[in-house]
Structure 1
Amino acid sequence: MVFRRRTPLTLPQKLRALVLPPGGWSRALSYLRLRLTRISDQPHRVARGIACGVFVGCTPLFGLHLPLAAALAWAFRGNVVAALIGTAAGNPVTIPILAVLSLDLGRAILGDGLSLPFGEIMTAFGQAGDEITRNIKAIFTPAVAHWDKLAEFGQAVFLPYLIGSIGPALLAAILAYWLSLPMIEAFHSLRARQRAARLARRDTPASGTKED
């Protein structure tokens, strides 16, 4: 293929890329900041979009973060592009913390005090994904679909994770809104002053010239 890498990544390199972006986290964060500051929309709409994206990014609805963030931003009249960027709150660094915290909190709410390590949580999600894939294939093949493991996964892992994630996700969304709003307003004010300064320089006659 035209866009295939000449030298395929090794397994350790692939695992490292999941945790550490190729250019490093500072470069990745700078890129996200640049994208956010270039959104031409009202600051409160941009901040509201970020909050929606952060909220969805903290939930276990993996694979649906982008469409759900866009829908939530549309419903709350936030900026959709900012919401898509805000889903980056759910990343390989934060997901382990959010997963363990949310699942423990959800199980406490549901009356089940058992705790699972992060590795077992992700293994359960992987097995559930494989089960869904096999059941979809079974629709078109003679194979028999089995849903018992998915039902067990939903009750033991997904449901408490989802319930437990609402509190941390809401808190993170509120913090994201109140932290991003003043920064976006400050950037817009700076950009407006720079634009006014450029217009003033353009309208000012060059030194040494005389007006008629």
Structure 2
Amino acid sequence: MRVMRLSASPHAIATGVAAGAASSATPFIGFHIVIALALAYLLSGNLVAAGIATALANPLTIPLILTAIYEVGTAILGVHDSAGLSGDKILGMLRHLELAELWQPLLKPMLIGALPVSLASAVIFYIAAFWAARLFQSRRRSLVRESRAGHISTERK
């Protein structure tokens, strides 16, 4: 509701929400807000809406997002055998920052998979936010008109 109350156009609000949704579907945890604000700025979207929409990536959804982008990335790259990389091995590589060893089995598929997932979530959230903002703003305008009409008619009495 906070996003719908913004005084920007439905397009600007929806563009900001789409930027926040797109950045939330990336593996760059900790940088989602920066990415969302940069995208919203470049696309003339609402910066507040972009910042609020990054809440889509939260402790409950991040594991789902990371799994989705990894699975999409491995499907695009045609990687079928990921059984050779255990969770303990990945944690060990992360502790020792062996990024060269993490690139092929983990980071590359996640970055590749983030592109279509981010694009899809941006399109879905743009459409939803645009129509929601448009509906909310038209209802708000009609309520204001009705209250002004009621206020004017009571003044004349």
TM over 0.5: yes
Q: TM-score scaled to structure 1, two decimals? A: 0.64
CA distance in 1, matches of 2:126, 2:18: 5
Q: Could you list the runs of 4 or more consecutive aligned residues of structure 1 that deviate by over 6 angstroms after TM superposition?
A: none
CA distance in 2, matches of 1:102, 1:52: 17
Conserved 8 A contact 1:103-1:115: no
Alignment partner, residue 126 of structure 2: 177
Aligned AA for 2:5? Answer: R
CA distance in 1, matches of 2:39, 2:90: 27
Over the aligned positions, Cα root-mean-square deviation in angstroms equals 2.6
Higher percent of residues as helix:
2
Deviations 1:130-168 (A, max 9, x none): 55xxxxxxxxxxxxxxx5x12222332122111112112
2:105 to 156, 159, 170: 156
CA distance in 2, matches of 1:71, 1:165: 17
Conserved 8 A contact 1:104-1:114: no
Alignment partner, residue 11 of structure 1: none
Unaligned runs of 5+ in 2: none
Unaligned runs of 5+ in 1: 1-33, 132-146
CA distance in 2, matches of 1:161, 1:93: 19
Q: TM-score scaled to structure 2, two decimals? A: 0.84
CA distance in 1, matches of 2:33, 2:91: 19
Show the 5 A alignment for 1:120-131: 120=87, 124=90, 128=94
Conserved 8 A contact 1:104-1:113: no
Alignment partner, residue 203 of structure 1: 152
Higher relative contact order (CA 8 A, sep 6+): 2
Alignment partner, residue 78 of structure 1: 45
SS in 2 for 1:196: helix
Aligned AA for 1:89? Answer: L
CA distance in 2, matches of 1:196, 1:166: 44
Aligned AA for 1:112? Answer: V
User: Greater CA radius of gyration, 1 or 2?
Assistant: 1
Count of equivalent residues = 155
1:168 to 107, 117, 140: 117
Aligned AA for 2:150? Answer: R
